[in-house]
Structure formats: C-alpha cells, structure tokens
Amino acid sequence: MADLEAQIPALAAEVAKAGDTVKALKEAKASKAEIDAAVKELKRAKTAMDAITKAIAAQNANPFDANRDGLESLCKRRFFYRPAFEIYGGVAGFFTYGPPGCAVKNNLISLWRRHFVIEEGLFEIEDTNIMPHNVLKASGHVDRFNDFMVKDLKDEAAFFRADKLLEESMENIIKDPTATPEQKEEATKVAAQADGYSQTELGDILKKYNIKSPLTGNDLSDPYPFNLMFPTPIGPTGDLQGYLRPETAQGIFLNFKYCLEQNGGQMPFGMAQVGKAFRNEIAPRGGLIRQREFTQCEIEFFCKPVINEDGSIVTGGKGGKPHPKFDLVKDEVLTLFPSPQQLAAQSTIDMTVGEAVEKGIIANESLGYMVARTQSFLLRAGIKRKYLRFRQHLPTEMAHYACDCWDAEIMFSHGWVESVGVADRSAFDLNAHSTATGQELVAIEKLAKPIKKMVVSTKKVAAGLGKEFKADAKKVVEYFDGLSDSEKLALKAECKEAGSKTVEIDGKSFELLPKHTDFDEREETQHTVSYTPSVIEPSFGIDRILYAIFEHSYYEREDEAEEKVEEPKKDKKDKKKDAQKDQMERSVLNFPPEIAPVKCALLPLDMRVTRDARYEDMCRSLASSLSVMGISSRRDDSGVAIGRRYARGDELGIPFAITFDFETFEDKSITVRERDSCVQVRVPFDEAPQILSRLCDAQMSWDECRAQFPEQKQTASDKVGMKA
C-alpha cells in the first residue's frame, strides 16, 4: 500500500497540470483539436488517479464490511438478538437475546468455565449486582470511573464520548487516499493515544482538528467528566447510597480471604465470577459492542511472589510474579502491539510468550500466562487467528488500578475492538479495601528457615495515649500501625531530636512528643512472612466476543452451478422477496460445535418417510439418547425440500444434520451431514449418539469421521438452495 500511496503526489500534480493546461487553452481560444487533446490528457490523468485511489481504498477496506448487512438481517430474522423494549421504541444500549442467541451465549460461557474455572482450578463466586457507596468509594470508582463527554452546543440532546469521536475522525484521515503520509502517521499516533489524553489535552486536540458534531456539524463543548455508574438508593428511606456494579471484580476482592481459607491458605490461587455489569454509556452505538448492561466473565489470579531467605519479597520485574504452569504456554506465538510501536505508528510484532516475558515486553510470567490462555480460549470459541492481536495500554490510558494491561483486540466490521482486558492490578484493590475496613487482606507464607528480625512495637505507647488524645487516641494508634518499622524509628528519632513533631491525621493536626513515640525495639524469630498479593485480572466482555464470533462465523455460499431456466418477468417487490429467499438459502454461521445453539438437526428425507410408523419411534428414541448425552437437537418435519431444511439449520449454525431416509428402515442406518463441507456419511443408527457426542466435544474431527464411515452420495434435492 505504501507504494501506491507514494504515487499519489505525482498523479495529483499531473491532474493539476493537465487542468491548468485546459484552462489556459480555453482562455487563449485555442483550436478545438488542441483543447480536445488537452481534455483527453486530463481525463487520462484523472482515470489513473481514480484507479490508484480505488486500489488504496480496496486495500484499506474492512474485510467484514461486505457481510455486515447480511449478518444483521439474519440475526434479526432468526432472533439471535434484538433491541430491548422494541415494541416501545427501544432504549439505546439495551438488547434482548432470543432463543438461538441465548443458547450460543450460554454455550460460550460454559466453554469459558471449562477452559478457565475447571482447567485452572478457580474458585467461582456469585456476588450482588448492587454495591454500597463505601465499597466503590474505596475501589476508586466513585471518584475516577469517568469518561470525557462533549455536547453539541446547539442541540442539548446530542452527547458524544470525546475520545471515540476523536478516534473516528482520525480513522477518516487514515483512510483518506489524498492525505499525506505525514498526516496519516500523525493521525495514527493520535488515534492510539485518544483514550489516554487528559481533559485539557483532549479539548486542545479536538480544536486542533476542528472536530464538529457528527450529527449536525455544530460546534462542540469542551470535554468534561461523566461518571459511568448507575446510582440507586438502598432501602425504603433512600439514605444508603448504592450503585449498580460497574464490574464484577470488586465482589471477588471483598471475598478474597474466605476463598484463601477454602484453599487452605495456599498461594497462588484464582477466583472467578460471571455476571452482569452496568455502565451508563454516554452514547452507546454499535449494537452489542457497547451496551449499558452487559455480561462479564472475570478472573482474579492472586500471585505468589518470590520470597528470599531473609524474608524479603520480590513482586516486580519479570521474575517477580512467577506462574507454576508458565512452561506449558511459553512457546505459544502472540501478535503483540506494544506501546512503543503504537507511539511510533509502527506495526504489530509476532513473538512467543516466553520471549515477550524474557525481553520485558510482557511484565511477568503470570501476566504472560493469562494472555496466552486468553488467546487459546478465543481461538477455540471461533475467533480467527489473523484477526486477533494483543495491544498494550499506553501509560497515559492505564486504569487507576493497573500497572500494566494488554487488551485482546478483535478485528470485525467496527475495526479493532477491545474484547478482553488482561491487567496487572498489582495489590491496589486489596490494599484499598484493607485500608477502608481495617481488615487484613493478606496471605501468609511459612519461611524455609526461621529468621531473626528487629521488630518495632507500638503497644507500650498505645496504652498511654488515651489520657492526652482521648477520643482521637484510636486514630493516632492506627497512624502508628500504618507505618513501617523503619518509618516508626525515623519518627521516634525526629521527635527526640526536635522535641516534638506535628502530623496530619484525617485532616486534623496532632503534636507528638518523644513519650508518644517511645516505641519498643526487640528481636523476634519469624517463622512466617505476610504480604498483600498482586493480582492478574483477565476480564472478558462476553457480548463483544459473541458479536465478533458472529462476524467471524458468517459467510454466504456461492451459488451452485445449475441450469438456467428462463423465468417470467417480475416486479421489484417479487425480486426483493426472491433476493431475501436466496440469501436465506446461502447464509451460514459456522460456529464451532461447542458453542452452536443446537448441535444436531433431525430431518426426514421427505414427507413419505414420515408416513412410516417406524419413523416417529426412531426419531423420538434418537432425540432422547442425544438429550441424555447433553446434545441438543431440533426436529424439522416440514414439507419443504431437504436442501432448504439444511439451509435453515446452516443459518442457525447447527453443525450436524441427521437424515432419516428409506434405507434407515431397512438396515437401521442414518446419514450425518456436516454443515461446512455439506458432505454426508452413513452411520449405524445405534452408534449415532456416541459419534455426535465425540464430534461436538472435539474428540473426533470430521475428517476422522469421514475416514471411518462410508460417504453418502447426494442427489440434487439434497443440495443446499436447490428448489424441490
């Protein structure tokens, strides 16, 4: 593409020169032949320019754009999902899943549980959707869970999320074939940093690019913060302020010590939660990818640090947060987009997880392990490898709780969209809740060898503080207990040397005298060491992942070659109906069997088969056997051609179809058709449930099935889209 873009300036100059020549000849009243020749040259230059522009546009085109309308039509028609409250006009950012969408979503969550909760031995909890103010105040969400908003200065009802508006404007520059390489490079850098600009920086850059309201073209206000949480009163008086939870993570942190007890005090370990989260998005657009109520699957993996022989703890650096299973994933290749590459407008890099951790690109083993496991889950769920990358957060866009974060971004028709965040939250949350509640949220490790250590105790001085500080004595003691031993000794020395020291505690001044800081120092033998664990958090936006799977799974079969039959002319309405019907017969969702809404269709070859009394008994028996094995099935006895019934199942993403034909009653065999290849094999009736179970659980591939059982020759009426 760079070669094509390099040709633009020269071609633009040719067009300008040819245009000037035509203008000059006309002004000079040159001969018609001269003017015609000049016009011909101008047209040639413009044609060359248009060809290059179209070629660049084709290379820049999103590969999923072409199928988006067809997919959305399918999802609406087959009720995968629709806007919530639609008969009342709907409300932006809320959606209802229909039967197939609900089934795929539940299967995706079940796959997530198998992949993470079961395989990693996580402790799953279920916490409340409503949280009191003090919890979210301590976590930082009350003060800092904001997006910057701008509003149309002439239309009070038009609001926009400022960073997304900036990103869209930069994308337009990047796609503009007439923009210079320098302009595109700058736009790429700005887009990469859009989420990390401060309020002032964001306002300045919106003005620099003269960005207006996309709806009206009116001027926009300066950006201002908007808290994304939904407030709700708790109780009949409304005195207790609460919020709908903005994430499922906080419930995990509040129950850390109870799950640590369940694990026998052993570290490391992980906790998980699946549930709804709520964010009052400023301007939710893009369907399922930006909702006000959505499903999260979150993991908090509590790391065991490196503990040295002297009892010191190492949590930083590539060796500070080891993972016991890191060797299992170290050779997996990731597509990474580190922050230096983003800031320099460079491309992604491919490397193994082990190399990324060794070079310090990914901060530590535990973070690298979770990134690798996230990739394997997404690929297993149906995301295409070449449209998946991991982008590192820039320092300026890091969440208030994170010290490093990698987003699993998936390419679909909306561009590269963050769908999973894998963050190193350090010990921020446990420390915050411990400080707010006075509860110790720590892990305790037994040392390999006991160590001698000087300990500074406040017990002696604490007993005498009540007389002088009265009701505030507890605050002073808590202040002392919050100091490290070295800080206590420094305070003691300062008071002794200066005669006193004034400290601020909760906004109140206290004068400390030498007698108040006469702490005891003694040597103790320590057998254990306590620490606040750091946390690695993979956070999965299930609805975004689900929509990405829809787009990655959707395709339309090419029309099969068949004899052209001259048909009578039709009006526009009939042609539109025919086009919709053709699309219905070509649309396919090739979900992996593990997440397909229905695993198997049960079909009679035609209505003659259904008239045989044996059909009903055999069909019911097979459906029951499949159900016992956890395999969902759907029966279609309608009178339309078998090819059209196959197409109905393909639209829903049903991976296999079992067909009862006339041979079924003779030799107790049935055919199994695979959705994507349309190939059928004939298998014994009694073996079908076990075969389907192995196929759906990925214990047997379709190629292995074809090698084991004879292929069934298809007739014309078997083929998808063929009319009966």
- pLDDT, position 229: 96
Q: To which residue do tokens 């990914």 refer?
A: 362
Please give the structure tokens belonging to residue 490. Answer: 């420094």
577 lies in the same domain as 674: yes
667 and 602 within one domain = yes
Q: Which residue blocks in 587-639 are alpha helix, DSSP H?
A: 607-610, 613-628
Q: Are residues 512 and 551 located together in one domain of the fold?
A: no
Note whether 55 and 89 are same-domain residues. Answer: no
What distance in Å separates the CA atoms of residue 38 and residue 19, rounded to the nearest whole number?
8
Tell me what pLDDT residue 96 has. 97
What pLDDT is stored for residue 619 in this prediction? 96
Q: What is the pLDDT of residues 361-387, one digit of tens each?
A: 999 999 999 999 999 999 999 999 999
In this structure, is residue 454 part of a structural domain? no
Structural domain includes residue 566: no
The domain that holds 577 is classified in CATH as: 3.40.50.800
Specify if 139 maps to a domain: no
Query: How many domains are contained in the chain?
Result: 5
CB half-sphere exposure, 254, CA atoms < 13 A? 18
706 located within any domain: yes
> Do the Cβ atoms of 205 and 166 come closer than 8 Å?
yes
625 and 685 together in one domain: yes
DSSP 516: G
Is 328 in the same domain as 406?
yes
pLDDT at 467: 79
Cα-based distances in Å from 677 to 20, 70, 514, 674? 59, 21, 85, 6
- Do 432 and 476 lie in a common domain? no
Residue 246 lies in a domain: no
At 573 the pLDDT is: 56
Bridge partners of 160, per DSSP, are 150
- Out of 60, 76, 102, pick the residue that ends a domain: 60
Q: Which of the residues in the chain have pLDDT under 50?
A: 561-567, 575, 721-724
Domain membership of residue 24 as a residue range: 2-60
CATH of residue 198's domain is 3.30.40.230
Q: How far apart are CA 391 and CA 408, in angstroms?
A: 7
Phi, psi for residue 681 in degrees, rounded to 5: -125, 155
**Do both 321 and 408 map to the same domain?**
yes
Note whether 188 and 210 are same-domain residues. Answer: yes
What's the pTM? 0.83
Select from 13, 31, 60 the last residue of a domain.
Answer: 60
For residue 120, what are the contacts with CB-CB under 8 A and spacing of at least 6?
270, 299, 373
What is the pLDDT at residue 720? Answer: 57
122 and 19 share a domain?
no
Tokens of 35: 């003017």
Beta-carbon count within 10 A of 530 CB: 11
Residue 257 is assigned to a structural domain of this protein: no
Query: How far apart, in whole angstroms, are the C-alpha atoms of residue 635 and residue 280?
Result: 42
Looking at residue 565, its pLDDT comes to 38
| CA–CA dist 632, 16 (Å, integer) | 66
Q: Give the mean pLDDT of the chain.
A: 89
Q: Is residue 685 part of a domain?
A: yes
Place of tokens 């940093």: 193
541: tokens are 């936006």
pLDDT at 582: 57
- Residue 710 class from Cβ within 10 Å (0-12 exposed, 13-18 middle, 19+ buried)? exposed
In this prediction, residue 562 carries a pLDDT of: 36
Residue 355 shares a structural domain with residue 375: yes
CATH number, residue 305:
3.30.930.10
* Tokens representing residue 301 in the block: 């993996």
Which pLDDT belongs to residue 469? 82
What DSSP assignment string belongs to 684-710?
A: EGGGHHHHHHHHHTTSS-HHHHHHHSP
Alpha carbon distance 414, 288 (integer Å) = 11
User: Residue 466 has what pLDDT?
Assistant: 80
Task: Say whether both 103 and 167 belong to one domain.
Answer: no
Q: At what angle do helices 642-652 and 572-586 cross, to 10 degrees?
A: 70
Residue 428 forms part of a structural domain: yes
CA distances from 510 to 436, 462, 504 (A): 21, 15, 6
The strand pair at 520-531 and 508-512 is best described as unpaired
